Amino acid sequence: MRLLTGKTALVTGASRGIGRAVAQQLAHHGALVAIHYGRNETAAGETLTQITRAGGRAFLVRAELGTPDDAKTLFTHLEDALARHRTGPELDILVNNAGASGSARIHDVTPELFDRLFAVNAKAPLFLIQRGLKYLRDGGRIINISSAAATTAYPESLIYSMTKGALNTLTRALAKELAPRGITVNAVSPGYIETDMNAAKRTTPHTAAALAGASAFNRLGHPTDIADIVTFLATDHSRWITGQILDASGGTRL
């Protein structure tokens, strides 16, 4: 079933990893998908090609997040692109997936790391939502990609964990704020996923096995594992779920 036919979605950070898988799944179910990317146009183009070859509809939108006026830049480009597709500028689904990572314990944290991670992981989603609300139709969906690191002790990546905690707080507050418009706001919290972001943590068979062993299923998650959950939240099947932080860690550290 094409559950999202007639819907328009914006997925940030959709050039690879979880974002790419989410964009592919939403397009598979009939949505017109705006593939946002920051710098890697080649990877974003690959996402677009894979979607169109599979019969889906999508287009590229470039804007570097964590910079001044990033939300304004993104939505200006989005409006132009939607006009070229003779649709919009309304949105039905906003997926805040783009994120920056950085490992540092308390003694290694720097103001530069703090500012960069909060700019991309917390500030950008906040102002993308703020600006996007005038485009988002009543009954729309906002889905934030959080992390299991926000709800477990993860001192190795202190600031990253803090940014995802802020995103969870934003999710709950906006769920109540936007409920009168029928807009649901939820977050999905992955554990260890096979993406470029986690590549450095699985450089040897031993480290890869350790990460897989954190899950009750004894494997790393795949981007599609998360994309399927996001797709459910984007459909009408999830209409009675809002303000939730869905653990999508494969039973990590149960």
184 within some domain: yes
197 within some domain: yes
Q: Which of 37, 135, 160, 192 is catalytic?
A: 160
**Below-70 pLDDT ranges, the chain:** 1, 197-203
What pLDDT shows up at residue 6? 95
Domain span at residue 43 reads 8-247
Whole-model pTM? Answer: 0.95
The Cα–Cα gap between 201 and 192 comes to 10
3 within some domain: no
Number of independent structural domains in the chain: 1
What pLDDT shows up at residue 202? 47
254 within some domain: no
Is 135 a known active-site residue? no
CATH number of the domain within which 200 lies:
3.40.50.720
